[in-house]
A = this chain, B = another copy of it.
Amino acid sequence: MISLSPSEENYLKVIFRLTQNEALPIGTNDIANAIHTKPASVSDMIRKLAVKGILDYKKYHGVHLTEKGRKTALQVLRRGRLWEVFLVEKLHFQWDQVHEVAGQLEHVRSPLLFRRLDEYLGFPKFDPHGDPIPDESGEWQEKPKSKLQDMKIAERGKIVTVSDSSAAFLRYLDKVGVYIGAKVEILDKVEFDGSLEIRVDESRKLFVSKEVSSNILVQLFDVK
């Protein structure tokens, strides 16, 4: 196994995340932005990671992780997400308090520690945000998606996709402030027309029609 510094691990994690979400080529500005550093520093680090065989890099043409880079990134994610589960389930952190601490803990190096922690937590497959936890060989389960329309009252989840991507629909979502990644909670279901009252991002309340809620796909959060 290759050994990276905490700083290198942070770059790797961010590059992995950015290259997953967007198929677009990702640039030094994106990375610099995500990691609170300057583009010049990113250029330096990218060259270094390329030498280590973590990613392929051609000047002015963005980066793309190698298989080795992908595997390594998954292990960093694994460590961070296991800690997140620990912090929420055992130490009763709120799920928005875990990020900073997990970000420090994830750089601790000890295979035994993570094997034991995993076991202690009952081999969780998802972290408190619903993101999958890779196993030691980098495999993970996708969390099943359900229609917003099919959720029950009081259930909560995160919006992950839409099944209708017409401009009209997307424009509507934008207007009412519903976006990929937003947290939703079902407040009420109206029998008559199948419309829903939902809460978005723990704050705004909103009514959506059955047509709309049938085209929004959500990952449910674990209940407890």
Interface residues of A (CB under 8 A from B): 87, 90-93, 97, 100-101, 104-105, 108-110, 112-113, 116-117, 120
20 contacts between A and B (CB under 8 A): A87-B113, A90-B120, A91-B113, A91-B116, A91-B117, A91-B120, A92-B116, A93-B112, A93-B116, A97-B112, A100-B110, A101-B108, A101-B110, A101-B112, A101-B113, A104-B108, A104-B109, A104-B110, A105-B105, A105-B108
Residues of B within 8 A of A120 (CB): 90-91
Number of copies: 2
In the assembled complex, the CB of A123 is this many whole angstroms from the nearest CB of chain B, namely: 14
Q: Which residue of B lies closest to A105 (CB)?
A: B108
Bound complex: CA A97 to CA B111 (Å): 12
Bound complex: CA A101 to CA B110 (Å): 7
Residues of B within 8 A of A108 (CB): 101, 104-105
Residues of B within 8 A of A87 (CB): 113
Most buried by B among A87, A100, A109, A113: A113
**4 closest residue pairs by CB, A with B:** A91-B116, A104-B108, A101-B110, A101-B113
Residues of B within 8 A of A90 (CB): 120
Bound complex: CA A92 to CA B116 (Å): 8
Residues of B within 8 A of A93 (CB): 112, 116
In the assembled complex, the CB of A30 is this many whole angstroms from the nearest CB of chain B, namely: 28
Q: Which residue of B lies closest to A90 (CB)?
A: B120
In the assembled complex, the CB of A94 is this many whole angstroms from the nearest CB of chain B, namely: 10
Bound complex: CA A53 to CA B214 (Å): 63
In the assembled complex, the CB of A79 is this many whole angstroms from the nearest CB of chain B, namely: 12
In the assembled complex, the CB of A168 is this many whole angstroms from the nearest CB of chain B, namely: 46
In the assembled complex, the CB of A181 is this many whole angstroms from the nearest CB of chain B, namely: 25
Bound complex: CA A67 to CA B105 (Å): 29
Bound complex: CA A216 to CA B97 (Å): 49
Bound complex: CA A29 to CA B213 (Å): 70
Bound complex: CA A62 to CA B109 (Å): 34
